[in-house]
């Protein structure tokens, strides 16, 4: 066993029984779904709906988490013998995010007696009251922020309710070992929306026939896709669901996912979390960002190869269009950002910047300028924006500090949305920058620097180590790919690559004489070092296969001169 690999495990707190549980995630160690709030009430109501064959509408969301969760539920409901189920996916540009009164009225008019939300609904008090007035019951399944008092739904299944009710019993969304509530409340709270929907399926299996125990595992391809793309932490139950979900994905029965892998250039037997997050995910999201997420849902639900491929190809084309539009907006946003270079928080705006795309642009600007960023689309008298942040600055709290000059806004610490009168953009800019300065935050940019798991000599960076590191997959939030650092290594070769010489490949020699090549795409200026210099590097090792030759290389993440 590689000594360096054991050091990586130790650095992550993976020793003893924890180590074995992490390296061999068990699907059977799943938690009891009835420990989630209101699960029993939801199951009772759905059992009645099944007996009476009521008309049910699954109310989804236009992102991948919502789309996969909707598909998980409709697949399972069909297995359980529900005969009148449809899916309503709101349009980002028409209904906007979440439940709306208009949508509820539209659904009630179709004769639906029950709405099951996925990935939304926890804060939809007035919409649920309206549904009740129209004689429609609502079951909420969600994982977003919760209200202090729950809306009047039949059930609000949201793990975050437990964090509100038992804040001292959890640490990093996991129930503390010594908590007196062990076995009484759900032990893991960072499920994605699709994870919550999947728990409802597991609970229904205890009361309804049609989906034999174990057969629900065929839904794990969808659970993995939604979980990875929603960037929840890949630990505990999420890790097990994604670990086994990737195995299901490799032999998926869904024509839509097979076609999507084909157009994304993903080989089914090599599918990993990265393929989901960077290959399948962006293509599915492109539909909702540009037009309607219905196209992505149609692809997931396709039953024949021809329709599946046609829909997957459409998503691929839309993703190319999304990228072109994104590049154009980013170019214009950089021009404006350069004029506000001294602001600790960037607020940029422009006409015709598609608000389905500006969230990605905000993330790109954050990466480039290392600053929290708000990007707004000016639409006549109203502007709509997306924010991305990092470190100790809360994008949502900054919006709250401008409550009196905005129309609405909210979200999370690291990602938020805001709508405001266009004429208030300058005031909003001043307000969020004042909020930043008032926080007296210190040395925030250092938080963006990569943190190494271990210090390594190049002679320890072997194929064997890389194979062992692969057993820690799936990588993602809460379980990042390990980073190594090597100190005071000698630069013995440098090569610029790319059309604009924007990439760099360095060959470095370690203390014991062994060399290693490290590659950085779109490298910052300080990566272009001279021969003969000594540097400390942070990198992720990998195997490069070229013309049948395998060599150990690395992705360069940071570099410091000596």
Query: What percent of the chain clears pLDDT 70, i.e. is strictly above it?
Result: 100
* Dihedral angle computed from the Cα positions of residues 72, 76, 79 and 80, in that order, rounded to the nearest 10 degrees: -160
Q: Tell how many helices (H) and how many strands (E) occur in the chain.
A: 19, 18
Q: What is the pLDDT of residues 283-318, one digit of tens each?
A: 999 998 888 999 999 999 999 999 999 999 999 999
pLDDT at residue 93 in the model? 78
Q: What is the model's pTM?
A: 0.90
CA–CA dist 451, 368 (Å, integer): 19
Give the residue from 292, 230, 384, 359 showing the smallest Cα distance to 89. Answer: 292
* 485 has pLDDT over 90: yes
* 508 has pLDDT over 90: yes
| φ, ψ (nearest 5 deg) of residue 386 | -125, 145
| φ, ψ (nearest 5 deg) of residue 254 | -85, 115
Confidence of residue 145 (pLDDT cuts 50, 70, 90): confident
CA–CA dist 311, 302 (Å, integer): 8
pLDDT at residue 242 in the model? 96
Contacting residues for 330 by C-beta, under 8 A, at least 6 apart: 361, 364, 365
Confidence of residue 361 (pLDDT cuts 50, 70, 90): very high
Confidence of residue 151 (pLDDT cuts 50, 70, 90): very high
Contacting residues for 99 by C-beta, under 8 A, at least 6 apart: 59, 117, 120, 121, 124, 127, 128
Q: HEC states along 93-115? A: CCCCCCCCHHHHHHHHHCCCCEE
* 197 has pLDDT over 90: yes
* 95 has pLDDT over 80: no
Question: How many Cα atoms are found within 13 Å in the side-chain-facing hemisphere of 222?
Answer: 31
Confidence of residue 513 (pLDDT cuts 50, 70, 90): confident
Mean pLDDT of the chain: 93
Beta bridge partners of 373: 346, 388
* 62 has pLDDT over 90: no
Query: What percent of the chain clears pLDDT 90, i.e. is strictly above it?
Result: 83
Q: Is 381 helix (H, G, I), strand (E, B) or coil?
A: coil
Beta bridge partners of 57: 86, 115
CA dihedral (395, 397, 402, 408) positive or negative: positive
* 548 has pLDDT over 90: no
pLDDT at residue 83 in the model? 97
Q: What is the pLDDT of residues 201-242, one digit of tens each?
A: 999 999 999 999 999 999 999 999 999 998 889 999 999 999
Confidence of residue 448 (pLDDT cuts 50, 70, 90): confident
Long-range contacts of 48-53 (CB under 8 A, 24+ apart): 49/82, 49/113, 49/114, 50/80, 50/81, 50/82, 50/208, 53/82, 53/83, 53/84
CA–CA dist 250, 253 (Å, integer): 9
pLDDT at residue 86 in the model? 96
Average pLDDT over residues 444-462: 89
Q: What is the pLDDT of residues 230-285, one digit of tens each?
A: 888 999 999 999 999 999 999 999 999 999 999 999 999 999 999 999 999 999 99
pLDDT at residue 71 in the model? 97
* 437 has pLDDT over 60: yes
């Amino acid at each position: 066993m590689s000594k360096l690999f054991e050091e990586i495990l130790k650095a992550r707190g993976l020793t003893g029984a924890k180590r074995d549980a992490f390296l061999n995630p068990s699907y059977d160690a799943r938690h009891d779904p009835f420990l989630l709030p209101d699960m029993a009430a939801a199951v009772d109501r759905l059992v009645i709906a099944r007996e009476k064959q009521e008309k049910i509408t699954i109310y989804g969301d236009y992102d991948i988490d919502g789309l996969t969760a909707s598909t998980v539920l409709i697949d399972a409901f069909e297995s359980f013998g529900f005969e009148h189920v449809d899916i309503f996916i709101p349009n980002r540009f028409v209904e906007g995010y979440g439940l709306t009164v208009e949508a509820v009225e539209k659904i009630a008019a179709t004769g639906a007696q029950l709405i099951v939300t996925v990935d939304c609904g926890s804060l939809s008090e007035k919409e649920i009251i309206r549904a009740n007035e129209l004689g429609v019951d609502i079951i909420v399944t969600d994982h977003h922020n919760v209200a202090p008092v729950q809306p009047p739904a039949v059930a609000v299944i949201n793990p975050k309710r437990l964090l509100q009710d038992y804040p001292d019993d959890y640490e990093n969304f996991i129930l503390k070992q010594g908590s007196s509530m062990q076995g009484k409340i759900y032990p893991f709270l960072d499920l994605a929306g699709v994870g919550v929907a999947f728990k409802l399926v597991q609970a229904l299996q205890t009361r309804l026939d049609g989906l034999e125990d174990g057969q629900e595992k065929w839904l794990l391809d969808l659970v993995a896709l939604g979980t990875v793309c929603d960037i929840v932490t890949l630990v505990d139950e999420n890790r097990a669901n994604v670990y086994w979900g990737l195995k299901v994905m490799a032999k998926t029965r869904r024509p839509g996912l097979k076609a999507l892998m084909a157009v994304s250039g993903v080989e089914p037997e090599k599918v990993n979390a990265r393929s989901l997050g960077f290959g399948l995910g962006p293509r599915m999201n492109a539909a909702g960002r540009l037009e309607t997420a219905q196209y992505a849902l149609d692809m997931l639900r396709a039953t024949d190869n021809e329709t599946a491929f046609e829909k997957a190809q459409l998503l691929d084309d839309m993703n190319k269009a999304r990228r072109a539009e994104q590049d154009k907006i980013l170019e214009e946003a950089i021009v404006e950002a350069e004029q506000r270079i001294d602001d600790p928080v960037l607020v940029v705006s422009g006409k015709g910047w598609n608000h389905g795309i500006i969230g990605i642009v905000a993330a790109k600007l954050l990466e480039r300028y290392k600053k929290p960023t708000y990007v707004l689309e000016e639409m006549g008298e109203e502007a709509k924006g997306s924010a991305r942040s990092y470190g100790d600055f809360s994008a949502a709290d900054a919006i709250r500090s401008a409550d009196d000059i905005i129309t609405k806004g909210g979200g999370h610490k690291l990602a938020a949305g805001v709508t405001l009168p266009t004429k208030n953009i300058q005031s909003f800019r001043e307000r969020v920058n004042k909020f930043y300065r008032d926080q007296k935050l210190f040395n925030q940019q250092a938080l963006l620097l990569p943190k190494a798991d271990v210090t390594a000599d190049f002679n320890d960076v072997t194929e064997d180590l890389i194979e062992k590191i692969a057993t820690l997959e799936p990588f993602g939030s809460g379980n990042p790919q390990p980073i190594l650092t090597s100190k005071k290594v000698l630069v013995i070769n440098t090569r610029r690559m790319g059309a604009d010489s924007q990439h760099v490949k360095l060959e470095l020699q370690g203390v014991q004489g062994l060399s290693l090549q490290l590659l950085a795409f779109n490298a910052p200026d300080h990566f272009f070092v001279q021969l003969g210099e000594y540097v400390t590097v942070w990198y992720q090792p990998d195997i490069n296969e070229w013309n049948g030759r395998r060599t150990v290389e690395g992705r360069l993440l940071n570099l410091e001169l000596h």
